[in-house]
Chains A and B, each alone.
Chain A
Amino acid sequence: MQWISWFLSSKGNEYFCEVEEDYILDRFNLTGLNTEVQHYAQALDMITDNLDEEIQDDVRGNLDLQARLLYGLIHARWIVTARGLAKMLEKYKRADFGRCPRVLCQSQPLLPVGLTDVPYEKSVKLYCGRCEDIYSPKSSRHGSIDGAYFGTSFPHLLFLVYPNLIPPKTGPVELGLPGRGGEVDSSRRSRRIREEQEAQAEGVGEGMSTASVASKADRYRPRIFGFQVNEIAKLQRWQEAVRDRQISRLEELEENA
């Protein structure tokens, strides 16, 4: 697909993955998009390389815009399918979406997320699976991408489908990242070694509970000449009491299950 390859290789479009041709050509997947996109038929022809050549230049500019919008909206639907998730997973493992700016997340790779599924409202944000918070992209060329092209559900669905990829709350990043041991399998093995002491054979995989993972999370403690800052320390104690209450709530649920 020429248009799509061109679009994906353009600077600033690094967050997008390739939507497979079969998915686009199945009209069922595009239900309702004709009301969101002007010149829908031509825009669709454009991204599928079926556009007639005789288009006036003044129309072409707007059509190009509509084609991008259409691709973005299809993309938002595609990345929450099984095959789309798998494609985005590859990009996640290459850290194509950047790494968490939070120091204590130890360069955890990020995932794109929208704050709304309606286009033209909010730009794309980046979700960190470790601190479970969202950040603005560092670069302005990513900061201007529409968040609706990724949608509000994508990162959460990814971790729902791949629970073994839920990042640990502490320790170094382990993913099938190039130069860090390659395969997912080996990283799982290294995690296993780490968790032997806890008598847990698996990673955050099939049998593993995530009820108490938050207690392992690292926090920054502000200090003045080595002493904690009163009001911040108080807030942090309160926050940790909220955390502990959630942990006991989740552990109780697990016991009763």
Chain B
Amino acid sequence: MSRRNDYHTLPQGEQSLQDEEAISATGEGDEEMEDAVDQEEGYSSSTPTSTLTWISWFCSLPGHEYFCEVAEEFIEDDFNLTGLNVMVPFWKEAMEMVLDMEPDEDTSKIPDVSIVEASAELLYGLCHQRFILTRAGLQAMVDKYEAGVFGSCPRVYCNGCNVVPCGRSDLPGTDTVKLFCPNCNDIYTPPSSRFQGVDGAFFGTTFAHLFFQSYRELAPAPFWKPASPSSTSPRSSASSSSNQPAFVNPNPYGGQKRAAGKVYVPKIYGFRVSERAKCGPRMQWMRLRPENPDELDLVDWRGRWIDDNDHYEDDEEHIDEDRPMEDFDPVRCSG
């Protein structure tokens, strides 16, 4: 098996397109490439040579910053690729390209090499979806996470919490990559348009959540108490803001990071907009956290308040009658 070094001529069209948008985003990879090209071939090209594997070249392209490098051993193990061969056309050729293998003589009858390039990208993306769920893949992604490669949540009161890439589907061609924020548990469109060409399936629906299950110290806890004693509530004045104790979530399987729990309160001329107004706040619940973890247990698995002493008890009885169960149907509510 020898390294092939002529693949760099294939994706030039794609490369030049992307170069226009984000020249700055191509990191050190570019310089490395150019040096090698000058020495070896004597003409200028923005594409790689044998110094770079296809995988590291692919991951260095603008817009591919979210990808980590999948270990070649992972791709070489057929077990890991079970079922993928039916999804990727020109499987064998794509495999050769991704792994930098010399193509067989008899397979050079493919009409257009760009087709193989697309297949290689699809193959790599689908391998990537699986690889980032492994221990090694999660580790590669946590390094990128902590370096801030994926960016931070655009929501103001998430206080710049770092986000991770996620897909809305595990099937390719459905939707582009999104970003999941573990603080507000919501998903956002990447700020730069260069990610609009990246398939969300290459990250998958599971990764983001397995990631925060695996690294619980990075996952914000589901409860939150204002840190500084607020001027209006005397009961919190006892807790000192000067030396905060180490944060502990009593649920050892839950998020172990102190959450950013502030919720936006709309005001007009300094007065809170009343919920009684037609334009009053209706969505604060979506960002709200209880002050204590115990409060989460006041709601049963169907989403109803358990506490009998709750003074909204009557209302609850009332709405139970005419509120259909569909509100609690996980399928209907699925994001």
**B155–chain A nearest beta-carbon distance, Å:** 6
Other A-B pairs, 19, CB within 8 Å; known A235-B222, A248-B315: A103-B188, A104-B186, A104-B187, A132-B281, A132-B282, A134-B157, A153-B268, A156-B266, A156-B268, A169-B283, A210-B280, A214-B282, A217-B286, A220-B185, A235-B289, A238-B298, A243-B286, A249-B275, A250-B276
0 or 1 for each of B275-293: is its CB under 8 Å from A? (1 = yes): 1111111111111111000
Contact B315 A231 (CB under 8 A): no
- Most B CB contacts (10 A, CB to CB) among A135, A156, A204 go to A156
Tell me the bound Cα distance from A155 to B267 in angstroms: 9
Tell me the bound Cα distance from A213 to B168 in angstroms: 25
Tell me the bound Cα distance from A246 to B267 in angstroms: 19
Tell me the bound Cα distance from A250 to B312 in angstroms: 12
- Spot the interface stretch: B66-74, B104-112, B301-309: B301-309
0 or 1 for each of B250-283: is its CB under 8 Å from A? (1 = yes): 0101110000000010111110010111111111
| B210 contacts A by Cβ under 8 Å | yes
- The chain B residue with its CB closest to the CB of A214 is B282
Contact A160 B279 (CB under 8 A): yes
Query: How many residues in A have their beta carbons less than 8 Å from beta carbons of B?
Result: 64
| B202 contacts A by Cβ under 8 Å | no
Tell me the bound Cα distance from A219 to B251 in angstroms: 24
Tell me the bound Cα distance from A129 to B283 in angstroms: 10
Contact B206 A225 (CB under 8 A): yes
- Most A CB contacts (10 A, CB to CB) among B156, B188, B189, B323 go to B156
11 contacts between A and B (CB under 8 A): A103-B186, A132-B284, A134-B157, A155-B266, A166-B278, A204-B278, A222-B185, A224-B210, A231-B255, A234-B222, A238-B222
Contact A248 B288 (CB under 8 A): no
| Partner of A138 from B154, B283, B327 at Cβ < 8 Å | B154
Contact B289 A224 (CB under 8 A): no
**B251–chain A nearest beta-carbon distance, Å:** 6
Contact A241 B154 (CB under 8 A): no
Complex contacts, A214 vs chain B, CB 8 Å: 282-283, 285
Tell me the bound Cα distance from A133 to B208 in angstroms: 23
**B82–chain A nearest beta-carbon distance, Å:** 15
Contact A135 B155 (CB under 8 A): yes
Tell me the bound Cα distance from A219 to B277 in angstroms: 24
- Most B CB contacts (10 A, CB to CB) among A125, A231, A242, A253 go to A231
Contact B156 A156 (CB under 8 A): no
Q: Could you list which residues of chain A lie within 8 angstroms of chain B, going by C-beta atoms? A: 101-104, 115, 125, 127, 131-136, 138, 152-153, 155-157, 159-160, 163, 166, 169, 204, 209-210, 213-215, 217-225, 228-232, 234-253
Contact B335 A231 (CB under 8 A): no
| B11 contacts A by Cβ under 8 Å | no
Tell me the bound Cα distance from A102 to B266 in angstroms: 19
**B252–chain A nearest beta-carbon distance, Å:** 11
Q: Could you list which residues of chain B lie within 8 angstroms of chain A, going by C-beta atoms? A: 154-157, 168, 178, 180, 185-189, 191, 205-206, 208-210, 213, 222, 251, 253-255, 264, 266-270, 273, 275-290, 295-296, 298-299, 301, 303-305, 312, 315-316, 318-319, 323, 327, 330, 333-335
A248 and B319 in contact (CB under 8 A), knowing A101-B189, A157-B268, A220-B187?
Answer: yes
Contact B279 A229 (CB under 8 A): no
- Most A CB contacts (10 A, CB to CB) among B180, B186, B284, B287 go to B186
**A241–chain B nearest beta-carbon distance, Å:** 4
Contact A239 B285 (CB under 8 A): yes
Tell me the bound Cα distance from A174 to B334 in angstroms: 23
- The chain A residue with its CB closest to the CB of B259 is A235
Tell me the bound Cα distance from A100 to B209 in angstroms: 23
Tell me the bound Cα distance from A249 to B315 in angstroms: 7
| Partner of A152 from B205, B267, B276 at Cβ < 8 Å | B267
Complex contacts, A156 vs chain B, CB 8 Å: 266-268, 273, 279
| Partner of A163 from B191, B278, B290, B298 at Cβ < 8 Å | B278
| Partner of A241 from B280, B282, B299, B334 at Cβ < 8 Å | B299
Complex contacts, B284 vs chain A, CB 8 Å: 132
Tell me the bound Cα distance from A133 to B275 in angstroms: 15
- Most A CB contacts (10 A, CB to CB) among B206, B253, B330 go to B206
Contact B275 A250 (CB under 8 A): yes
Complex contacts, A115 vs chain B, CB 8 Å: 156
- Most B CB contacts (10 A, CB to CB) among A220, A224, A230 go to A220
Contact B279 A239 (CB under 8 A): no
**B47–chain A nearest beta-carbon distance, Å:** 30
Contact B156 A136 (CB under 8 A): yes
**A64–chain B nearest beta-carbon distance, Å:** 30
Tell me the bound Cα distance from A236 to B335 in angstroms: 12
Contact B315 A220 (CB under 8 A): no
Tell me the bound Cα distance from A121 to B298 in angstroms: 40
Q: What are the nearest 10 A-B pairs in CB distance?
A: A220-B335, A235-B222, A248-B315, A243-B285, A132-B283, A159-B279, A231-B254, A242-B285, A241-B299, A214-B282
